[in-house]
Amino acid sequence: QVQLVESGGGLVQAGGSLRLSCAASGRTFSSVVMGWFRQAPGKEREFVAAINWSAVSTYYAEFVKGRFTISRDNAKKTVYLQMNSLKPEDTAVYYCAADRDRWGTAHPVADKYVYWGQGTQVTVSS
């Protein structure tokens, strides 16, 4: 069992930055793929970024490439999402998620992530 708790969301002006954190519990954290997803009001959940267990492999949605960076600290059981050059369209609830399988490569497939946090709200004003 893995429990995930996101933090770091808030209100920021367009062009600003935020860093989201996701603290995990569970012994397998250091061996599983971690991902970030988001859901805006009235829209479906969408993939944002993922990172494999060793941080060698990352995967980003096209709309965040060059602006967002995913990273992890296995010793702290925490995954981060550094978000720069934020736009109003980045406004959403951001969720972190953990894959069930160990030693995999980063991927955007939501159905393979079986553990989810409660989400943290990010609001970008224009």
pLDDT for 32-69, tens place per residue?
999 999 999 999 999 999 999 999 999 999 999 999 99
The DSSP symbol for 103 reads S
pLDDT digits (tens, 9 = 90+) for 80-100: 999 999 999 999 999 999 998
79 backbone dihedrals φ, ψ, rounded to 5°: -120, 145
Nearest to 30 by CA among 50, 55, 8, 49: 55
Distances (CA, A) of 28 to 40, 77, 112: 30, 10, 16
